[in-house]
Amino acid sequence: MKKITILGSTGSIGTQTLDVIRQNPDCFRVTALTCGANTELLKKQIEEFNPEFAVTASQEDALRLAAEFPKVDFGWGRQGLVDAACGGCDMVLNALMGMRGLEPTYYAIKAGKDIALANKETLVAGGSLVMEEAQRAGVKILPVDSEHSAIFQCLEGNAGRPFNKILLTASGGPFRGYSLQQLEKVTLRQALKHPKWTMGAKITIDSATMMNKGLEVIEARWLFDAPAERIQILVHPQSIVHSAVEFEDKSVIAQLGVPDMRIPISLALGYPDRLKSSEPGLDFFGQGASLTFEKPDTSVFKCIGFAYDAIREGGSYPVVLNGANEVLVDLFLKEKIRFIDIQDTLQKVMDKHKPVYGLDLEGILATDSQIRESIKEYLD
């Protein structure tokens, strides 16, 4: 039985991970759960899955829950996440949102834990550091994002065979086909309506700006050792082809399926086995009957270009891009800036940044902190 720690168990990916575990009780045991502020849901998860360890954002919440669950050890904050990641488990599923996912992933790898990775920022900000440590420790990093899981599946059985390019699909988000002028009028309510996927607020806004796809390009660069020029984005509104790989003989292998995150989650948890699902499969005469593909409009959705630039420049560029974007999305969610201000401000940040190379974990975290503190000067 595989022992699983879930970082971010009360979020969208975390709750769907528990769905998969619930359906496969003989395969997995939950050893640790972590949450931010949603302690009521965490309580229900503790009651059902009986973890040995649980983590909350605040010490106050941890101490309160510890009184209710005396058989469970509790931690809190940044150190709590690291302790959960390094504890008595075989695999850490990292479903945390944002940069706080990097540190526990890094230390979990050093502790020899396999990683099921749904936290983009781990590889966006710390790609070189994390992949080198994973290779040194001999651990697996199994992607949970549907696109990267698809690429992983396409490459399986083709180890050592060179590929021409990775074809990374994107739904196009709610504003596919918009002009820059139309983006200037976008409201928060509109941006939070994704046409295909149900996700948390931050990733939904990233999908609307298409920064999410830019971050996935950076992630793919590290997961699959692919230079920027060999990663191509395809806008695919149906979200049936989750991604594909073109090989040297020009054959293309693609992974298809219904848009359900439990599929890549179950693949990562059960690897190298595939877990049986009772959910409906893809109907090729219904939702899979018509598949279309378009080029992304990078003159409108400029975040895509920023990500490619960050890969080419390297060093601290991806750290700065990611950190600035997190702050700007948060400001938009609080309705303090306009939707268009996200990419306009990122342009200023990227133009002004002077890169630093060879960053260790502390350097990455310090650079991230510095850009977050200075972001207001770009909004004046």
Q: How far is CA 366 from CA 101, 274, 356, in A?
A: 15, 40, 12
CB atoms within 10 A of CB 64: 13
Q: How would you class 370 by CB atoms within 10 Å of its CB: exposed for 0-12, middle for 13-18, buried for 19 or more?
A: middle
Residues 7/34, Cβ–Cβ less than 8 Å: yes
Residues 343-371 have a mean pLDDT of 96
Q: How far is CA 327 from CA 76, 150, 314, 378, in A?
A: 23, 30, 21, 12
CATH number for 148-378: choose from 3.30.70.1290, 3.40.50.720, 3.30.565.10, 1.10.1740.10.
1.10.1740.10
> Angle at the Cα of 291 (from 287 to 294), degrees rounded to 5?
140
- Residues 335 and 320: their CA atoms lie apart, in Å, by 22
- Residues 144 and 220: their CA atoms lie apart, in Å, by 12
The DSSP 8-state label assigned to residue 9 in this structure reads T
pLDDT per residue over 223-265, tens digit each? 999 999 999 999 999 999 999 999 999 999 999 999 999 999 9
Alpha helices by DSSP H, listed for 111-179, are 120-137, 146-155
Alpha helices by DSSP H, listed for the chain, are 12-23, 39-49, 59-68, 77-85, 102-110, 120-137, 146-155, 180-183, 188-191, 201-209, 211-223, 262-270, 303-313, 317-333, 339-352, 361-374
- pLDDT number for residue 380: 67
- pLDDT number for residue 192: 94
Terminus-to-terminus CA distance in the chain, angstroms? 55
- Is the peptide bond between 272 and the residue preceding it cis, with omega within 30 degrees of 0? yes
pLDDT above 80: residue 271 = yes
pLDDT above 70: residue 12 = yes
Residues 279/262, Cβ–Cβ less than 8 Å: yes
- pLDDT number for residue 41: 98
- pLDDT number for residue 197: 67
> Angle at the Cα of 40 (from 35 to 41), degrees rounded to 5?
60
2-143: CATH topology: Rossmann fold (3.40.50)
Looking at per-residue pLDDT, the higher value among 364 and 201 belongs to 364
- pLDDT number for residue 137: 97
Q: How would you class 51 by CB atoms within 10 Å of its CB: exposed for 0-12, middle for 13-18, buried for 19 or more?
A: buried
pLDDT per residue over 71-82, tens digit each? 999 999 999 999
In the chain, which segments carry CATH 3.40.50.720?
Answer: 2-143
Least confident of 159-163, 189-193, 323-327, 336-340: 159-163
- Hey, what are 285's tokens? 């005469």
In the chain, which segments carry CATH 1.10.1740.10?
Answer: 148-378
- pLDDT number for residue 289: 87
Residues 141-159 have a mean pLDDT of 95
- Hey, what are 207's tokens? 């999908």
Report residue 95 CA to chain centroid gap. 7
- Residue 311 corresponds to which amino acid? I
Percent of the chain predicted with pLDDT > 70:
99
Backbone angles phi, psi at 189, to 5 degrees: -60, -40
Residues 12-23 have a mean pLDDT of 96
Give 167's strand partners. 232, 244
Residues 142/114, Cβ–Cβ less than 8 Å: yes
